[in-house]
């Protein structure tokens, strides 16, 4: 029966390829895997305590406008890599000395002290670490200087925001189960932490209780009213009495309740991707899980703005619930997810990184990552195989970023036991693009929490600038927008405090910097 | 506690629900050390967790494992306890269980060997955390069982426990339920045409086909192969507002619109969602474990009750599934949105398989029927199954009361028509009566 279905699936894939020239299907990007020559060697290693995590931080640590990499190594040393790729050329990285801590599960880049040099928040099994960026990809531990209590937990999620009036970020750290529980670890989810500012550093962490084994967190303005609440995606495998969470970020954070309209959802939550896919002012959220990924669309009752979502993954062809190719049809296990426009048509696409937890026979062992291209009607076309980005490794974290500055977004997957995989986008004939960098004087230099809007003749695009989400992986870069065939665009930013900039004209290929 | 009474199990079963409790049974011939009870209790605690955390363990599959593991524990002890009577030759397909070798055995070591072996096989597919937990439990229970036991006794006991476990596993392999693919959802399935029949109700992709459509063909433990517990057809489908079908749908709809807090709590208390709870059959096992702990029930009686309850709930799911796919009725959410209110949302998530009868009702009816005979009618207990999930403990004055509440919860939850709950309880009682014909006492 399974073999028969596999055979049935193949013509479907080919049919998609054949139909890609049709008006309803998106342009296919073309990727070439450059793992072997990339210079990336850091495999995410370790057994039980490293079954989750395995992330990467993507950011420019040496100021050369190329995106460098920091990759979690699990029980092996993490790896910091300088990007040595030539513009438009093959993807090349050179490993740098230092930054080789063990027990690293993930990392997120952000400028904590707003000195213009990107810092790094490193999640670990054990003490979490903040590294102050010193330039030229040099870092120093800053826990003590910044009063940051790294704790001793199994940390698996991270998000950051600048709360109103603060000149120092608030960090949310999600923690997993009590790793010292052996026979009965279920129900042992340890507290998540909220590290709020205190002077030029952090106050002792505030427990975000109840905590339900978070694997992804995101400060996000879900309601479009300028308020950033904390979305937490939790792993139902381990919590008892838990569910997905949304926290009001008040003086004392409190959960959105069912009485306020929050609807209980319980999944193996592993990753969050957010994007306002139809520029209606509200983010859609893609939540990764096991065989049950969600594409959440805000559908509040008429006349009310409540955090109620309909799952449109099935309706829009974005379930990614089992391998779409190969002969392994068991259910999928999805981790990192990220919306980006990989074919520059002005529509955000979706990269979903997959991999079996560990020898779970009921789930696919050969579980290909998904590259879902968005069509103009909001549905998605699977294109990982058609575009050459097929990968069957046991993956966890990942990133979509332009590593060689050619205006085409490349793909990274961090793997258990194997080096990361890298696919270079070598497409030709795709639409145009532009990038937008944000800088502001004073605190929160990268304007985390802002919204960027890009207007072309094809319509409006909006994206919220966040630090967090995905699976243990974060990107801080000039933000990429495909603009299709448009010959001109205009760009503006709505800064985190709600102030909107003027519209700025931009030509295809422009690298816009908006600052204030 | 009431004093031991003179009747053996067969006596009071044949006496027709005489209301005698398990404590009325004769004391076992051998005094069972506490170590054996600890081994059984700890493995069952872990069993409830692994049921919850292993992706293939939908309720029918869970019930099957409860049955085989209960039988494993029972037979492992029965071979050394003259008061117990093996199920071999009584339940379908089970041949004589290996006898003990000459020489002393230790019951804790026998149980530990049998259960650790059987659990590893039943949950060979659980995730890395479950594997780690089983390894830890094996280490801990090995140490507990072996404490102060002579090496030759331990070796002899272990060998016997393993042989019993393997015997039961070999038997279980042929019942039709040993292999679960795609979490129980068939890769191919053709929906029955017609408005009365089940259609997918979930937006989860794998649930576009119904769960375990062939489960009703599995071998039962105590039910004759001719399907002795069949059900009358459901209410005839109609969209006519004057019809009985419309009326029962309207009852579901109106009930959902007027739920009070107690009714909402009842719906959630018995929801017992797979992967988020020990499932409905696990709920009844959890009730039983709570009674064991409260009453310090002797281990042989624990094993006896777990075996009987396990067979009852497992046979209940086989019979229920046979009926579900025979009638293939649509769910309330489908009908109500089609005919009454297109925006209606039931309180609970609708399970991904046909409606009639209610699985929870069938297995609760079967469980209550068996437990009422083992413990007596009017046997009160507290149900703390979901305490760790934040739901309150509920107290019941008897097993039938709990079963009836479980059935009613499906109406409150909006996932079953009333007939499915009423007929489900009846089907369960039929299953329970068959299980009660088995003799577990010599």
Q: How far is CA A318 from CA A13, A292, A378, in A?
A: 15, 10, 10
What does the pLDDT read at residue A10?
32
Partner residue facing A360 (CB), from B42, B127, B206: B127
Among all residues of chain A, which has the CA nearest to that of B208?
Answer: A314
Structure tokens belonging to residue B325:
């796919």
- pLDDT, mean over chain B: 92
- Min Cα distance A500 → chain B (Å) is 39
Among all residues of chain B, which has the CA nearest to that of A360?
Answer: B127
Partner residue facing B55 (CB), from A4, A329, A362: A362
| Chain A residues close to B179, C-beta within 8 Å | none
- Min Cα distance A359 → chain B (Å) is 7
What does the pLDDT read at residue B227?
67
CA angle, corner A443, sides to A439 and A448, nearest 5? Answer: 60
- pLDDT tens digit sequence for A441-488: 999 999 999 999 999 999 999 999 999 999 999 999 999 999 999 999
Chain A positions with Cβ closer than 8 Å to B = 1-2, 4-5, 47-48, 51, 177, 182-187, 236-238, 240-241, 266, 290-292, 311-315, 319, 321-322, 329-331, 357-363
| Residue B182 in contact with partner chain A when CB distance is under 8 A | yes
Contact B125 A2 (CB under 8 A): no
- pLDDT tens digit sequence for B230-288: 999 999 999 999 999 999 999 999 999 999 999 999 999 999 999 999 999 999 999 99
What does the pLDDT read at residue B226?
74
Give the integer Cα–Cα distance in Å for A105 and A76.
10
**Average pLDDT of the segment spanning A328-354:** 97
- Min Cα distance A91 → chain B (Å) is 35
| Residue B45 in contact with partner chain A when CB distance is under 8 A | yes
Contact B182 A187 (CB under 8 A): no
Give the integer Cα–Cα distance in Å for A121 and A100.
14
**Average pLDDT of the segment spanning B137-159:** 97
At which residue do the structure tokens 């039929």 appear? B430
Contact B205 A322 (CB under 8 A): yes
**Average pLDDT of the segment spanning A221-227:** 95
Contact B128 A359 (CB under 8 A): yes
Partner residue facing B182 (CB), from A241, A314, A331: A331
**Average pLDDT of the segment spanning B359-374:** 98
Partner residue facing B133 (CB), from A184, A241, A315: A184
A-B contacts (CB, under 8 Å): 100
Question: What band does A205 get if pLDDT is binned at 50, 70 and 90?
Answer: very high
Q: Is B409 in contact with B267 (CB distance < 8 Å)?
A: yes
pLDDT at residue B19 tops 70: no
Contact B128 A186 (CB under 8 A): no
- pLDDT tens digit sequence for A60-73: 999 999 999 999 99
pLDDT at residue B24 tops 50: no
The number of angstroms, rounded, from the C-alpha of A43 to the middle of its chain's C-alpha atoms is 19
Question: What band does A24 get if pLDDT is binned at 50, 70 and 90?
Answer: low
- pLDDT tens digit sequence for B384-410: 999 999 999 999 999 999 999 999 999
Contact B45 A266 (CB under 8 A): no
Among all residues of chain B, which has the CA nearest to that of A293?
Answer: B204
Please name the residues in contact with B3: beta carbons below 8 A apart, sequence gap of 6 or more. Answer: none
pLDDT at residue B32 tops 90: no
Q: Is B53 in contact with B99 (CB distance < 8 Å)?
A: no
| Residue B276 in contact with partner chain A when CB distance is under 8 A | yes
| Chain A residues close to B275, C-beta within 8 Å | 236
Instruction: Kindly provide the ipTM of the predicted complex, given to two decimals.
Output: 0.91
| Chain A residues close to B273, C-beta within 8 Å | 266
For A337, phi then psi, to 5°, come to -140, 145
| Chain A residues close to B132, C-beta within 8 Å | 48, 182, 185
Contact B276 A266 (CB under 8 A): yes
Give the integer Cα–Cα distance in Å for A192 and A174.
5
Partner residue facing A241 (CB), from B137, B187, B390: B390
Give the integer Cα–Cα distance in Å for B26 and B10.
12
Mutate to test the interface with A, among B126, B187, B386 (most CBs of A within 10 A): B187
Q: Is A101 in contact with A78 (CB distance < 8 Å)?
A: yes
DSSP codes joined into one string, B247-276: HHHHHHHHHHHT--HHHHHHHHHTT--BTT
Give the integer Cα–Cα distance in Å for A104 and A127.
9
Among all residues of chain B, which has the CA nearest to that of A2?
Answer: B187
Give the integer Cα–Cα distance in Å for A505 and A502.
10
Partner residue facing A51 (CB), from B45, B128, B204: B128
- Min Cα distance A1 → chain B (Å) is 7
pLDDT at residue A15 tops 60: no
- Min Cα distance A258 → chain B (Å) is 13
Could you tell me which residues are beta bridge partners of residue A456?
Answer: A459
Among all residues of chain A, which has the CA nearest to that of B189?
Answer: A1
Contact B188 A1 (CB under 8 A): yes
- Going by C-alpha positions, the residue among A491, A483, A498, A478 that lies closest to residue A438 is A478
For B211, phi then psi, to 5°, come to -70, 130
Q: Is A284 in contact with A274 (CB distance < 8 Å)?
A: yes
Looking at residue A290, what DSSP letter applies?
Answer: B
pLDDT at residue B28 tops 70: no
- pLDDT tens digit sequence for A133-158: 999 999 999 999 999 999 999 999 99
Backbone dihedral region for residue A88 (phi beyond 0: left; psi -120 to 50: alpha; all else: beta): left
| Residue B426 in contact with partner chain A when CB distance is under 8 A | no
Q: How far is CA B297 from CA A164, A494, B37, B45, B286, in A?
A: 61, 68, 9, 16, 14
What are the helix and strand counts (H, E) for chain B?
14, 2
From the number of C-beta atoms within 10 Å of its C-beta (0-12, 13-18, 19+), residue A379 rates as middle
| Residue B189 in contact with partner chain A when CB distance is under 8 A | no
For A338, phi then psi, to 5°, come to -155, 130
């Amino acid at each position: 029966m399974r073999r028969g279905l596999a055979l049935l699936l193949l013509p479907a894939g080919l049919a998609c390829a054949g139909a890609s020239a049709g008006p309803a299907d998106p342009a296919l990007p073309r990727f070439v895997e450059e793992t072997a020559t990339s210079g990336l060697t850091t495999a995410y290693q370790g057994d039980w305590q490293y079954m989750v995590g395995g992330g990467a931080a993507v950011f420019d640590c040496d100021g050369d406008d190329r995106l460098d990499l920091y990759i979690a190594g699990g029980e092996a040393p993490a790896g910091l890599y300088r990007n040595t790729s030539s513009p438009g050329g093959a993807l090349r990285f050179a490993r740098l000395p230092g930054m080789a801590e063990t027990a690293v599960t993930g990392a997120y880049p952000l400028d904590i002290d707003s000195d213009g040099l990107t810092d790094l928040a490193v999640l670990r099994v054990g003490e979490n670490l903040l590294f102050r960026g010193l330039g030229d990809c040099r870092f120093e531990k800053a826990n003590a200087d910044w009063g940051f209590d790294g704790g001793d937990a199994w940390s698996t999620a991270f998000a950051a925001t600048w709360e109103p009036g603060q000149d120092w970020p608030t960090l949310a750290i999600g923690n997993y189960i009590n790793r010292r529980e052996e026979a009965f670890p279920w129900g042992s989810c340890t507290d998540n932490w909220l590290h709020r500012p205190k002077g030029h550093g952090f106050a002792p962490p505030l427990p975000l209780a109840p905590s339900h084994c978070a694997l992804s967190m995101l400060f996000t303005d879900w309601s479009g009213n300028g308020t950033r609440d904390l979305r937490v995606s939790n792993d139902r495998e381990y919590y008892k009495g838990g569910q997905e969470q949304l926290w009001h970020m008040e003086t004392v954070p409190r959960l959105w309740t069912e009485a306020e309209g929050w609807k209980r959802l319980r999944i193996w939550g592993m990753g969050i991707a957010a994007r306002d896919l139809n520029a209606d002012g509200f983010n859609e959220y893609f939540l990764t899980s096991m065989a049950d990924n969600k594409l959440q669309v805000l559908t509040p009752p008429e006349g009310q703005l409540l955090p109620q979502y309909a799952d449109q993954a099935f309706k829009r062809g974005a379930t990614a619930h089992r391998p779409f190719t190969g002969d392994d049809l068991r259910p999928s296990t999805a981790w990192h997810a990220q919306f980006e426009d990989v074919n520059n048509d002005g529509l955000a696409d979706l990269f979903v990184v997959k991999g079996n937890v560990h020898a779970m026979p009921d789930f696919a062992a050969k579980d290909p990552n998904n590259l879902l291209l968005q069509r103009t009607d909001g549905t998605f076309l699977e294109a990982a195989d058609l575009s050459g980005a097929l990968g069957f490794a046991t993956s966890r974290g990942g990133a979509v970023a332009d590593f060689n500055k050619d205006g085409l977004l490349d793909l990274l997957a961090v793997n258990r036991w194997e080096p990361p995989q890298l696919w270079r986008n070598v497409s030709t004939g795709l639409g145009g693009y532009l990038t937008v960098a944000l800088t502001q004087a004073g605190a929160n230099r990268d304007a985390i929490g802002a919204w960027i809007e890009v207007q072309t003749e094809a319509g409006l695009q909006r994206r919220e600038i966040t630090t967090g989400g995905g699976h243990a992986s974060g990107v801080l870069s000039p933000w990429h927008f495909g603009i299709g065939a448009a010959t001109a665009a205009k760009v503006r930013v709505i800064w985190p405090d709600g102030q909107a900039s003027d519209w700025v004209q931009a030509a295809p290929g422009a690298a816009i910097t908006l600052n204030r | 506690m009431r004093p031991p009474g003179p009747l053996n199990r067969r006596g009071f079963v044949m006496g027709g629900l005489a209301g005698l409790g398990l404590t009325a049974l004769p004391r076992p011939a051998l005094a069972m050390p506490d170590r054996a009870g600890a081994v059984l209790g700890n493995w069952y605690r872990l069993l409830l967790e692994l049921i919850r955390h292993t992706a293939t363990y939908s309720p029918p599959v869970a019930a099957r494992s409860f049955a085989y593991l209960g039988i494993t524990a029972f037979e492992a002890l029965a071979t050394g306890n003259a008061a117990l009577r093996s199920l071999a030759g009584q339940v379908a397909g089970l041949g004589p269980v290996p006898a003990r070798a000459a020489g002393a055995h230790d019951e804790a070591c026998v149980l530990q060997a049998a259960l650790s072996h059987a659990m590893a096989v039943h949950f060979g597919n659980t995730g890395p955390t479950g594997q780690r937990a089983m390894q830890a439990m094996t280490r801990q229970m090995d140490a507990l069982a072996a404490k102060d036991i002579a090496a030759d006794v331990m070796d002899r006991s272990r060998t016997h426990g393993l042989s019993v476990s393997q015997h039961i596993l070999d038997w279980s392999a042929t019942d039709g339920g040993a292999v679960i693919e795609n979490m129980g959802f068939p890769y191919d399935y053709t929906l029955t045409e017609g408005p009365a029949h089940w259609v997918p109700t979930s937006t989860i992709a794998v649930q576009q086909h119904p769960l375990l459509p062939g489960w009703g063909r599995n071998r039962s433990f105590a039910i004759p192969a001719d399907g002795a517990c069949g059900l009358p057809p459901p209410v005839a489908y109609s969209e006519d507002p004057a019809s009985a079908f419309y009326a029962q749908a309207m009852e579901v709809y109106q009930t959902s619109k007027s739920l009070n807090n107690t009714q909402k709590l009842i719906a959630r208390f018995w929801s017992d969602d797979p992967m988020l709870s020990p499932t409905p059959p696990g709920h009844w096992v959890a009730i039983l474990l709570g009674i064991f702990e409260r009453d310090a029930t002797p281990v042989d009686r624990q094993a006896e009750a777990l075996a009987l309850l396990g067979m009852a709930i497992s046979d209940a799911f086989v019979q229920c599934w046979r009926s579900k796919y025979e009638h293939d009725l649509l769910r309330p959410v489908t009908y109500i949105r089609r005919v009454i209110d297109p925006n209606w949302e039931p309180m609970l998530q609708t399970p991904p398989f046909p409606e009639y009868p209610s699985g929870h009702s069938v297995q609760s009816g079967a469980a209550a029927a068996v437990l009422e005979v083992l413990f007596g009618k009017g046997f009160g207990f507290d149900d703390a199954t979901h305490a760790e999930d934040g739901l309150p403990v509920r107290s019941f004055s008897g097993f039938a009361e709990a079963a009836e509440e479980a059935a009613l919860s499906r109406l409150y939850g909006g996932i079953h028509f009333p007939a499915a709950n009423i007929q489900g309880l009846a089907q369960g009682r039929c299953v329970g009566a068959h299980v009660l014909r088995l003799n577990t006492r010599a």
